[in-house]
Structure 1
Amino acid sequence: MQEISNNVTVDYQVGKLELKNAELLKDAVKEIADKYKDLIITDDTVKSDKKTKTELNGLLKQLEDKRKEYKKQYQIPLKDFENSIKDIEAPLSDAINNLKLQLNDYDERLAKQKEEQIRSFIEEVCKEHKADAKDIIINPKWLNKSTSKKTWQDEAIQAIKLQDAEISRFEIDVANIKAFAKQLDVNPDSYIYQLNMGASSVEVVQRMQQDVERDKKRQEALDAEIKAMKEAKKARTKVVDDKRVDTETGEVEKLETYNLVVTGKHEDLIRLAKFMEENDINFKLSE
C-alpha cells in the first residue's frame, strides 16, 4: 500500500510567545507577596485582612486571565491544523471501521461454528459415557483460532472422563447411604438429597447416626413419660367389684370380663400380653 505521509505538506513556522517584562512583573509580584506572606491576623486587623485577601486574589486572577488569553490565541493555529487533518482522515476512519466490523463479525461466526463443532463432538462422545453432554462446559480457550482440533478434543474427552468419575463416585455414595439407612431402618431420601446438595458421604453418614440417636433418645424420653403417667394412674386406682376408681379424681370406669382362649405363635402371644399390659387390660393365665 502506498505511503501517504510523504504527500503531507505543511507551512510550519515555530511560534513565538514571549513575556517581555517577565522580570519586572516577577519583582512586582514578589514585592507584594513579601509584604503579606508573614501577616498575622488579629482581632483588630481581621476585617482589613479579609479585604487584603480579596485584593490579592484579584491580582492573581488578572495574571491567570492574561495567561489563558494568550494561550487560547496561541492554540488557534494548532486546532485549525488538527481539524484539517481530521477532515482528511474521516474517509479512512470510515473504511477502517467498516472493515473492523466485518472482521469482528467474521471472527464471531467462525467461533460460533467452532463452538457448534465442539458441542457436537461432546454429545457424540458422551453417548459412550455416563456423563451428560449438557454438564460439560466448553473452555473459552477451545474457541481460539490458535487452539488446534486435537487439543480441544483431548481436553474435552478429559473433561468427560472426569465427569464420569464424579458420577461413579456419586452412585457409590448413594448405594452406601441406602445400605446404611437400611441398617438403621430409616428413609434414605433426605440423606441422598444432602448428597445432591454437595455434602460428602462421611458427613451424611454422621448426620444419619446423629438423627437416629436423637430420635432414639426422644422416644425413650416419651416412653418413660408415658410409663410414669401409667404407673402414677395405676397407683391411685382402686378396683372395686366391676369398677375401677381413680382415688384422686373420682373417675369411675366400668370393667368387663371375658373368658378368651387365644391361640397363636409364642412370640405373637408375648406381644399380645405386652399390648394388654400397656393398655391397662388385666389378664391372667389359666391353670
Structure 2
Amino acid sequence: MTNETELLQLPDYSIEYTPTQIKIHNFEGLQRAVNAYAQRYANVIVTDDTEKSAKDSRAKLNKLSNALDEKRRDIHRDYNKPYDEFADTIKQLRSVLQNTIDPIDDGLKELDGQHREQRKEHVQALITEMAPNYGVSASDIEIDPKWLNKSTSKKAVTEGVAVVMKQVKQAQDKFKSDSHALTKYAEVNKVDAAPWIDQLKQGQDLDYLFKAIDNQVNLRKQKQKELEAQAAEAKTHQTTKGDTTIDTNTGEIAEHSVVLRITTTIEEMKLLKNYMDQRGIKYQRAGV
C-alpha cells in the first residue's frame, strides 16, 4: 500500500510550439513518470478496508490527468489565437461585401417572385383555355408547383395540364357512375342514400359500400322479425275496443290509431316511410 500523504508531482517540462508544430520538451521523462504512476496504482484492490485509500489514489491520479489536460487547453488556446485573429479579419472583409450582396439578393428574390406570379397567371389562363376540351372545370384543376418553375417549358406545362385534366375527368366520371349505382342500390333496399354518397366522396370503395348496405338491411330485417315476434306474442293477451288495443294483462293501451295529414318533400316522405317500416309501425294511405 502506498503512502497516503505522498504528493504526486510531474517532472518539470515545458512546451514550445509554432503554428505548424507543437513539441514537448522532456517528453521521455514525462512519459516515464505517467507510466510509473499508472503502474503503481494498477493493482489497487477496492474493499471496505481500502475504500478510503482507493479514493485518495483516484483523486491523486485525477489531479495528474487534469494537470495534463489543463496544459493541453492552454496550448490549444494559444495555438488557435493566430487563426482566430485571421478568421475575424476575413469575417470583417466578408461583411463589407455582404452589405452589398444583401440588397441585390433581395431584389432578385422579389423579381423572381414577380416572374413566378406571371407564370402562374399564364398557367391559369392555359388551364381555363384547355378545360372545356377535356370536359372539366378550370376550378377543378390544382396548379402543380413545378409548372411555375422557370426551367419548365411551355410544352411540358401543357402536357402536364392535359394529364391532370384526363385524370380529373376519369375520377369525376367514375364518381358519377358509382354515385348513380349506389343511389339505385340504396333505393332498392329502402335506405337513405345520402350518408353512403358522403362516404363515396371520401374515397370509400363502392363494393365495400354495397356490402355495408347489405349488412344494414340484414340487421333491419332481423330487427323486424324480432318486432313481429314480439307483436305476435303481445296479441295473445290483447283486446280491441274501437280504435284502441288494450293489453289484458296490464290494462295498458298497446296500440292506438290516429289519422295524420303530413306535408313534406318526396325525399322526406320516403325517409319517414323507411323509418316506420324499420320500426314496425303500421300505416295506410288515406284518400286526399
The aligned counterpart of 1:157 is: 162
Residues in 1 aligned to 2:234 and 2:189: alpha-carbon distance in whole angstroms: 30
The aligned counterpart of 1:187 is: 192
Letter in 1 for 2:65: L
Task: Give the superposed CA RMSD.
Answer: 3.0
**Do the aligned partners of residues 122 and 18 (structure 1) sit closer, same or farther apart at CA in structure 2, a change above 3 Å counting?**
same
Please tell me whether the aligned partners of residues 237 and 247 of structure 2 are also in contact (alpha carbons under 8 angstroms): no
The aligned counterpart of 2:228 is: 223
The aligned counterpart of 1:168 is: 173
Of stretches 146-155 and 180-189 in structure 1, the one that deviates more from structure 2 is 180-189
Letter in 1 for 2:74: E
The aligned counterpart of 2:216 is: 211
Identity of aligned residues (%): 30
Residues in 1 aligned to 2:202 and 2:28: alpha-carbon distance in whole angstroms: 81
Q: 1:107 aligns with which of 107, 112, 118?
A: 112
**Do the aligned partners of residues 44 and 178 (structure 1) sit closer, same or farther apart at CA in structure 2, a change above 3 Å counting?**
closer
Return the index of the structure with the highest Cα Rg.
1
**Do the aligned partners of residues 168 and 41 (structure 1) sit closer, same or farther apart at CA in structure 2, a change above 3 Å counting?**
same
- Residue 145 of structure 1: CA displacement? 1.7
Residues in 2 aligned to 1:101 and 1:93: alpha-carbon distance in whole angstroms: 12
The aligned counterpart of 1:29 is: 34
Please tell me whether the aligned partners of residues 177 and 201 of structure 1 are also in contact (alpha carbons under 8 angstroms): yes
The aligned counterpart of 2:145 is: 140
Q: 1:76 aligns with which of 74, 81, 93?
A: 81
Residues in 1 aligned to 2:251 and 2:29: alpha-carbon distance in whole angstroms: 124
Q: Which has the higher contact order (CA 8 A, sep 6+)?
A: 2
Please tell me whether the aligned partners of residues 122 and 133 of structure 1 are also in contact (alpha carbons under 8 angstroms): yes
The aligned counterpart of 2:263 is: none
1:229-240 map, 5 Å? 229-233=234-238
TM-score scaled by length of structure 2: 0.70
- Residue 68 of structure 1: CA displacement? 1.7
Q: What is the SS of the residue equivalent to 1:210?
A: helix
Residues in 1 aligned to 2:163 and 2:250: alpha-carbon distance in whole angstroms: 78
- Residue 74 of structure 1: CA displacement? 2.7
Instruction: Give 5+ residue unaligned stretches, structure 1.
Output: 1-12, 238-244, 252-278, 280-287
The aligned counterpart of 1:47 is: 52
Residues in 1 aligned to 2:247 and 2:52: alpha-carbon distance in whole angstroms: 103
Residues in 1 aligned to 2:191 and 2:54: alpha-carbon distance in whole angstroms: 91
- Residue 190 of structure 1: CA displacement? 2.6
Please tell me whether the aligned partners of residues 130 and 167 of structure 1 are also in contact (alpha carbons under 8 angstroms): no
Letter in 1 for 2:238: K
Q: What is the SS of the residue equivalent to 2:150?
A: coil
Of stretches 142-151 and 102-111 in structure 1, the one that deviates more from structure 2 is 102-111
Residues in 2 aligned to 1:158 and 1:190: alpha-carbon distance in whole angstroms: 32
Residues in 1 aligned to 2:125 and 2:233: alpha-carbon distance in whole angstroms: 71
Residues in 1 aligned to 2:96 and 2:251: alpha-carbon distance in whole angstroms: 111
Residues in 1 aligned to 2:205 and 2:194: alpha-carbon distance in whole angstroms: 15
**Do the aligned partners of residues 41 and 220 (structure 1) sit closer, same or farther apart at CA in structure 2, a change above 3 Å counting?**
closer
Letter in 2 for 1:180: Y
The aligned counterpart of 2:126 is: 121
TM-score scaled by length of structure 1: 0.71
**Do the aligned partners of residues 231 and 44 (structure 1) sit closer, same or farther apart at CA in structure 2, a change above 3 Å counting?**
closer
Residues in 2 aligned to 1:206 and 1:16: alpha-carbon distance in whole angstroms: 82
Please tell me whether the aligned partners of residues 19 and 79 of structure 2 are also in contact (alpha carbons under 8 angstroms): no
Aligned residues: 233
Residues in 1 aligned to 2:64 and 2:161: alpha-carbon distance in whole angstroms: 75
Residue 64 of structure 2 is aligned to residue 59 of structure 1:
yes
- Residue 247 of structure 1: CA displacement? 7.7
The aligned counterpart of 2:275 is: none
**Do the aligned partners of residues 205 and 249 (structure 1) sit closer, same or farther apart at CA in structure 2, a change above 3 Å counting?**
closer
- Residue 26 of structure 1: CA displacement? 0.9
- Residue 164 of structure 1: CA displacement? 0.9
